[in-house]
Each structure stands twice: as structure tokens, then as C-alpha cells.
Amino acid sequence: MSVFRFKEFEIFQANAALKVGTDAMIFGAFLNAEGKKSALDIGAGTGVLSLMAAQRNKDLKIEAIEIEEAAIRDCLLNFENSNWSKHLKLYKGDFLQFQFKKKFDIIFTNPPFYYNGLLSDSNAANLAKHNNALPFEKLFEKVAKLLSSCGDFWIIIPFELGSFILSLASSVGLMEFQRINVCAKPGRISRLIFCFSNTVKSLKEESFTIRDTSGKYTQEYKVLTQDFHGITIQ
């Protein structure tokens, strides 16, 4: 599908290696940018997370960074065609090398998460899916330096990496205050959504199920994504 239509914007994705999927839809819908003024989207891809955040908080100024050329073409077009183009800025480059000029109230990423995985013949796919170019250790080190004093860091990862990610966050002084256990089907956690802060907050934990035992979307999925889905989902 070259175009994914949301209620208030469209995602052109003919070039990007990774298309809009369930991970992005759920993560973007849970992402809480309320009251935030500045945001950073790491590895923006098509720009879908930035646009979902912009829809929710129309005063949010978002800077995004992407390294892969094909995804950059899609993202630029999606930003320019949106209602919030004046609040969106895309940088081409390596997040670890880029020199940002300020700190951010909210940072979010749906990172390449294949850890020590087998690479494919596609460089674009490898950048999008494998964390060789963006090791989690380096990611957390830099994020900790870029968060404002009241900043939040949101990340979605495979369930199997949960303990590893928590240890990395702790090592750079980031504290977990929200955790969402995402189940593909009842009782089977497939993803974790974490939110970290550099200040102590009470931990909130919840579970969320995408599909029921028959394979249909759950009511909680429909409610969560209703502000974004451009079509009625079954």
C-alpha cells in the first residue's frame, strides 16, 4: 500500500523500507505529548509518529531525524502535505552524530530493534530493522543528554529486550514511570512500550491486547486508535 490514510493526514510510503504497521499505530496512539512544547522523533521513517503527535498536540514543535534516503523522501512529502507543516522539521543524518541545538520535552522512537540479527541484502531494510547503526547503549546515552528537566522518553521494543532496556535506562539516570504490555493476542506479550523520565514518578503499568482469540481487533484497540484510523476497523 503506497498511501495509508488517517483521519487528519495521509502517509505516502512508496519509498520507505518500513510501512505503517500495528506497532506504529499503537505506539503513536499511546504517545502522550499533552502539555509538551518541543519534541524529537528519532528515526522518523515516513513521519507517522510525528504526525500522530502533531494531531494530538497542535502546538507541539517537532524535530525529526532520519538517515535513510528513501524514507526521507516520503517523510518530507508527508510533513509538507500535513496541516502542521510549519511545526515539523526533518533533519537528514545520523542521530548519534547530529548536533542538536536544544533539549526536548518529549523524545520518542520506534527503533530498529533486531539485535545482532542476520542482515539482508537491502541496506535500507537493514537501517530500518537492525540496530547496528544505532546501538541501544548509544541511543540511551544521547537521549539522556537531550531530555529537558521535565522531559519524557518513549520507546517501543520487543518483549524479549525488556530487562536489557531497563538496565540501560537505569545506567544513564532515566527512570521508568509508564509501561504498557502489548499483547498480540490474549496472554501473549509481544511488545513493550516504556516511558522514562529523569525525575522520580509513580510507576503506572497496564496491559493492552490487539486482537481477540478469533483474530478480530479488540474493543480496546478500536477505542485507542479511533482518533486516527481513517476507516472503520472490524
* Sign of the alpha-carbon torsion through 165, 154, 93, 100: negative
| Cα–Cα distance, 91 to 172 (Å, whole number) | 25
Other beta carbons within 10 Å of 216: 12
Q: Are the C-beta atoms of residues 3 and 228 closer than 8 Å to each other?
A: no
DSSP character string of 87-114: GEEEEES-TTT---SS-EEEEEE----B
Q: Which residue has the higher pLDDT, 224 or 19?
A: 224
C-alpha cell recorded at residue 27: 505506539
* Span 124-129, average pLDDT: 42
DSSP character string of 198-216: SS----EEEEEESB-TTSP
CA atoms within 13 A on the CB side of 115: 11
- State pLDDT tens for residues 61-106: 999 999 999 999 999 999 999 999 999 999 999 999 999 999 999 9
- State pLDDT tens for residues 128-147: 443 456 899 999 999 999 99
pLDDT band at 234 (very low <50, low <70, confident <90, very high): low
- State pLDDT tens for residues 168-204: 999 999 999 999 999 999 999 999 999 999 998 899 9
The structural domains of the chain, ordered by start, are: 3-225 (3.40.50.150)
